[in-house]
Amino acid sequence: MRLSLRFVLPLLIALGLLAYAVTPLIEKLTVRWFERDLELRANLIANTINEPLSELLRAGDTSRVQKFFVRIAQDERIFAIAYCASPAEAPLATESLPGGVQCAQLEALADSANQYLPGSTGQLLILARPMATEAAPSGKLILIHDVTFMSRRGAETRRYLFYFFVALGLVVSLITVVIAQLSWRGWMHGLRTMARGEGLMRPSQGFDSPELLPIANDLRALVREIQAEHRSRDEEQVAWTPDTLRDILHRELANQDVIVVSNREPYIHVRNDDAIVIQRPASGLVTALEPVMRACSGTWIAHGSGNADRDVVDARDRINVPVDHPAYMLRRVWLTREEEAGYYYGFANEGLWPLCHIAHVRPTFRTPDFDQYRKVNKRFAEAVVNEATRPDPLVLVQDYHFALLPRLIRDALPDATVITFWHIPWPNPEAFAICPWRDELLDGLLGSSILGFHTQFHCNNFVDTVDRLLEARVDRETFTVSYRRKLTAVKRYPISVDWPPSPELFAKPVDQCRADVRMRHGLPADHAIAIGVDRLDYTKGIEERFRAVERLLEQHPEWVGRFSLLQIAAPTRASIEEYRNYETHVRAEVARINERFSGGLHPPIILEARHHEPAEVYEHFRAAEVCFVSSLHDGMNLVAKEFVSARDDEQGVLVLSQFTGAARELPEALIVNPYDTDQCAAALNIALTMPSRAQRQRMGLMRGLIKEFNVYRWAGRMLIDAATMRRRGQLVDRSPHGHRMPLWPERRAE
Ligand code: ADQ
């Protein structure tokens, strides 16, 4: 509407001015036309009455002349008529001629430029025509016209002119509005087409409106720029490998100080009799971050947990790793037994772990544990400050052991870029609110520049929690939290596995794996196997898995003796009572169910409660028909992704709990509710009887996803975001109070 007004208003003003200017002109013109008409009429009358009048004058009959004049003057436009024999004589006229008017005066007026009789306020027009007779050769016929009709018609003309311009204005406005709207729609359509990126390559496309052609190139360039800006930069990469991470570091973060902080160290030195051996923890985190550290020669700060760790470090508790080809520095932080008990087993694993996992195990909060947690976080913060060679290191803080660390780093190194990744779920605000130190934990985490979770659901929960519990400004469009004049972007980075997996994990062909695993457990070659691989943790739903197997055998007795669940369970956190109890329950369940189906030749559940090397784990994945992941709650669950990556034969079925982050990425798995025993048993039966072709289809799709979204992409996306943030951070606004307010995330955060 405003657009139409912009066209219509000037148009109406122009029309108004035109009407104002044209009206007097037209009036003048019409007056001139009327006067000319009257002159013609006067000629006509003069010519017509010439003869009879001459007769009457000659006869000297003035009364008949007057009667004759009265007859002529009956015409409404003739006011009076007179005959002047000479200027000196009195006129012979109708009575309507104003008294006292002399011939000289009448003739003079008729010859003048203004032919109107004075005093008649311009209503009486005087016209003289020669009317020569023998007696009066210079005689004149004087016709006095009543021209009031002219002003009446003038008023009428003005009125019609007004109506005409109003009608013209309306019609032209209507046409203008319609054309403006149609053109506007055309332009908008053209612009929208461009904005969608259609017709970007072919100039002819996307432009129904030729008017846009002159700016088409500019528009295209602008749209491309915006698209490039908004496209997630990790999409530009075709394949993600350790080399890709190296390239990103060299390109985007050259000469930057990169520091990783995690509880678990990537290399553990363990005394084995008199020798010191190096153990590598089987951990997705280590797999992903090690190439980053190798590429940037950074520093990894971790708890020195190996019993020979102290024997191999230098005076500053550092060791170059890998020992055979040193590429980066491992800085070990020592913890006393008390510290480890309070910080790691106590607050982190008896408090935060059950708090964040909805697995119906009550968190235990003890003040001394939290004191240790606080103390250890400070110790790691000191280590970060000591290891930083610049005031603005890039620090990657890993997991729930270090919720307070980001704030401590931020206080000590305000220019640091801190990326914190929370590997476990984040609960809803009500659940989190039971923690006595909830505000301190949130405050600690909001010291991060970026806070990452596996799923959007956990990002949402975190933002809701902050919104509910802190005086912070939450922006749900950009997913940022503004707290203590600092912005934290909350982002989703789903972790994944190494792709392509290391060749040694695939060295043994699938058939060989099948045969070896079955032989090792005394099972026949055609025995069906489902595999479970977990730490012995109550969140993994191991008991629920066993109950699903029991139900399967109840409902489908044909599987008794022909099917086994092979559970590989790594003991974990054994100093925590809850975990010890859990292991006891798990073992009791295995015994009970195996006893119940002891009629079969082979036990339905085989439990191997020990740590396995990655190659052994992969051998089991490759030997099984089914992998059963039944976590009650899990941030991601790497076992599910490892199973998919292990099956290069595209066979095998994944039964996956809906409460894992992985379930959001792998919908081709058989998704189950681990609390629903019947559903899990049915899924197991479907998995065990699924035709090979259907298995191939599902597995192919899942492998495609993991190939595209591997662990290097997980780390790479964080590095790219960190680099972008650092570049934008250079545009800082120093507020009058000296606070640094990075400008970047206000408008940009996916
Ligand atoms: P975890 O709870 O440890 O990880 P998960 O993601 O499944 O769970 O990773 C377990 C790893 O340990 C896998 O690599 C697996 O192969 C290995 N593993 C399990 N049992 C083993 C055994 N018996 N022997 C040897 N290796 C074994 C936490 C979160 C997860 C999140 C990860 C990564 O709880 O939700 O996916 O971090 O962020």
CA dist 402 and 749 (Å) reads 24
Is there a contact between 417 and 726 (Cβ–Cβ < 8 Å)? Answer: yes
249-258, 444-453, 547-556, 590-599, range with the lowest pLDDT:
249-258
Q: Is the peptide bond before 322 cis (omega within 30 degrees of 0)?
A: yes
> Cα of 705 to ligand 1 centre, how many Å?
20
Q: What is the DSSP string of 631-681?
A: -SSBSS-HHHHHHHHH-TT---EEEEETTBTHHHH-TTSEEE-TT-HHHHH
Q: Say how many C-beta atoms besides its own lie within 10 A of residue 542's C-beta.
A: 29
pLDDT of residue 733: 38
Q: How far is the CA of 285 from the centre of ligand 1 (A)?
A: 10
Distance, first Cα to last Cα, the chain: 35
pLDDT tens profile 374-414 = 999 999 999 999 999 999 999 999 999 999 999 999 999 99
Residue 143, pLDDT > 80, answer: yes
Q: Which residues touch 236 (CB under 8 Å, ≥6 apart)?
A: none
pLDDT of amino acid 703:
98
432 pLDDT higher than 70: yes
What is the band of 132 on the pLDDT scale with cuts at 50, 70, 90?
A: confident
Q: What is the 642 CA–ligand 1 centroid distance (Å)?
A: 10
Quick one: average pLDDT of 443-463? 98
* Cβ(320)–Cβ(331) below 8 Å: no
Cα 306 from Cα 280, distance rounded (Å): 11
Residue 67: CB atoms within 10 A of its CB come to 12
Helix, strand or coil for residue 748?
coil
The span from the CA of 277 to the CA of 86, in Å, is 151
**How far does residue 576's CA lie from ligand 1's centre (Å)?**
18
- On the question of pLDDT at 134 being above 90, the answer is no
Which helix (H) or strand (E) is 569 found in, with range?
A: strand 563-570
Check residue 233 and give its pLDDT.
Answer: 67
| pLDDT value, residue 430 | 97
pLDDT on residue 275: 95
Whether residue 531 contacts residue 674, with contact meaning beta carbons closer than 8 Å, is answered with: no
Residue nearest atom 18 of ligand 1, based on CA coordinates? 534
Q: Is the distance from the beta carbon of residue 264 to the nearest atom of ligand 1 less than 6 Å?
A: no
Q: If you take atom 25 of ligand 1, which residue's CA is the nearest one?
A: 612
Between residues 719 and 199, which one has the greater pLDDT?
719
% of the chain exceeding 90 in pLDDT: 58
Q: Which atom of ligand 1 is nearest to the CA of 533?
A: 20
Q: Is the CB of 495 under 6 A from ligand 1?
A: yes
Query: Cα 438 to chain center, whole Å?
Result: 31
Dihedral sign of CA atoms 435, 441, 443, 445 in order = negative
Would the CB of 153 count as within 6 Å of ligand 1? no
Q: Between these two residues, 416 and 230, which has the higher pLDDT value?
A: 416
Looking up tokens 């992409």, which residue turns up?
713
CA 380 to ligand 1 centroid distance, Å: 24
Ligand 1 pocket test, candidate residues 396, 399, 534, most atoms within 8 A of CB? 534
Each residue's pLDDT tens digit, 526-561:
999 999 999 999 999 999 999 999 999 999 999 999
Query: How many C-beta atoms surround the C-beta of residue 730 within 10 A?
Result: 9
Stretch 172-181: mean pLDDT, rounded? 84
Expressed in angstroms and rounded, the spacing between residue 485 Cα and the centre of ligand 1 is: 37
Q: Is the dihedral of CA 737, 742, 747, 750 positive or negative?
A: negative
Look at residue 437 and tell me whether its pLDDT is greater than 90: yes
Bridging pattern class, strands 140-146 and 124-130: antiparallel
Q: Percent of the chain scored above 70 by pLDDT? A: 91
Cα-trace Rg, the chain: 51
User: Which tops the pLDDT comparison, 422 or 42?
Assistant: 422
Confidence of residue 50 (pLDDT cuts 50, 70, 90): confident
Residue 184 above 60 pLDDT? yes
* Per-residue model confidence (pLDDT) at position 231: 57
- For 591-612, what is the mean pLDDT? 95
Check if 501 has its Cβ closer than 6 Å to any atom of ligand 1.
no
Of the two residues 128 and 527, the one the predictor is more confident about is 527
Examine the pLDDT at 7 and tell me if it is beyond 50.
yes
Residue 685 CA to residue 557 CA, distance in Å, equals 11
More confident site: 29 or 586? 586
pLDDT of 214 over the 80 cut: no
Closest ligand 1 atom to the C-alpha of 634? 35
Q: Which two tokens stand for residue 675?
A: 């609390």
pLDDT at 749 over 50: no
Q: Which three-class secondary structure state does DSSP give residue 293?
A: helix
| Closest among 342, 493, 572, 266 to 352, alpha carbons compared | 342
Q: How confident is the model at residue 151 (pLDDT cuts 50, 70, 90)?
A: confident
- Span 571-591, average pLDDT: 96
The predicted model scores a pTM of: 0.71
Least confident segment among 138-142, 208-212, 662-666:
208-212
257 in contact with ligand 1, CB cutoff 6 A:
no
pLDDT digits (tens, 9 = 90+) for 57-70: 888 888 888 888 88
Whole-angstrom Cα distance, residue 569 to residue 594?
17
Residue for token pair 């120093």: 734
Confidence (pLDDT) at 735:
38
Q: Which of 424, 533, 568, 643 to mutate to test the pocket of ligand 1 (most atoms within 8 A of CB)?
A: 533
Q: Are strands 480-483 and 486-492 parallel, antiparallel or unpaired?
A: antiparallel
584 alpha carbon – ligand 1 mean position (Å): 21
- Segment 118-127 shows an average pLDDT of 73
Does the Cβ of 375 fall within 6 Å of ligand 1? no
Q: Is 452 in the pocket of ligand 1 (CB under 6 A)?
A: no
Could you tell which of 637, 654, 710 is best to mutate to test the pocket of ligand 1, judged by most ligand atoms within 8 Å of the CB?
637
pLDDT band at 153 (very low <50, low <70, confident <90, very high): confident
For residue 732, what pLDDT is reported? 47
Average pLDDT score over the chain: 89
CA distance 655 to 684: 7
| Ligand 1 atom closest to Cα of residue 642 | 16
pLDDT of 596 strictly over 50: yes
- Across the range 323-349, mean pLDDT stands at 97
Contact (Cβ atoms closer than 8 angstroms) between residue 588 and residue 547: no
Banded pLDDT at 444 (limits 50, 70, 90):
very high
Please check whether residue 290 is in contact with residue 712, taking contact to mean a CB–CB distance below 8 angstroms: no
Measured distance CA(190)–CA(686) in Å, rounded: 52
Indicate if the alpha-carbon torsion angle 515, 516, 519, 521 is positive or negative: negative
pLDDT average, residue stretch 672-699: 98
- CA-wise closest residue to 375 among 406, 349, 404: 404
Residue 245 · residue 253 · CB < 8 Å: no
Q: Name the 3-class secondary structure at 426.
A: coil
Q: Lowest mean pLDDT of 109-113, 218-222, 230-234, name the range.
A: 230-234
Q: Which of 112-126, 227-241, 490-504 has the highest mean pLDDT?
A: 490-504
- Under a CB-based contact definition with an 8 Å cutoff, are residues 722 and 660 in contact? no
pLDDT score of 486 more than 80: yes
Residue 320's nearest CA partner among 264, 266, 381 is 266
Tell me if 600 sits within 8 A of 594, measured CB to CB.
Answer: no
| pLDDT, position 514 | 98
| Cβ of residue 536 lying under 6 Å from some atom of ligand 1 | no
**Residue 500 preceded by cis peptide, ω within 30:** yes
With cut-offs at 50, 70 and 90, classify the pLDDT of residue 277: very high
> Model confidence at 238, in pLDDT bands (50, 70, 90)?
confident
Distance of CA 634 from the midpoint of ligand 1 (Å): 10
568 close to 532: Cβ distance less than 8 angstroms: yes
Distance, in Å, from the CA atom of 559 to the CA atom of 530, rounded to the nearest integer, reads: 12
Phi, psi dihedrals of residue 380, rounded to the nearest 5°: -70, -35
- State how far the Cα of 266 lies from the Cα of 301, in Å rounded to an integer: 10
What is the distance between the alpha carbons of residues 487 and 733, in angstroms, rounded to a whole number? 13
**Of 535, 532, 646, 513, nearest to 283 (Cα)?**
535
Q: Is residue 731 predicted with pLDDT exceeding 70?
A: no
Per-residue pLDDT band at 200 (split at 50, 70, 90): very low
Beta bridge partners of 418: 395
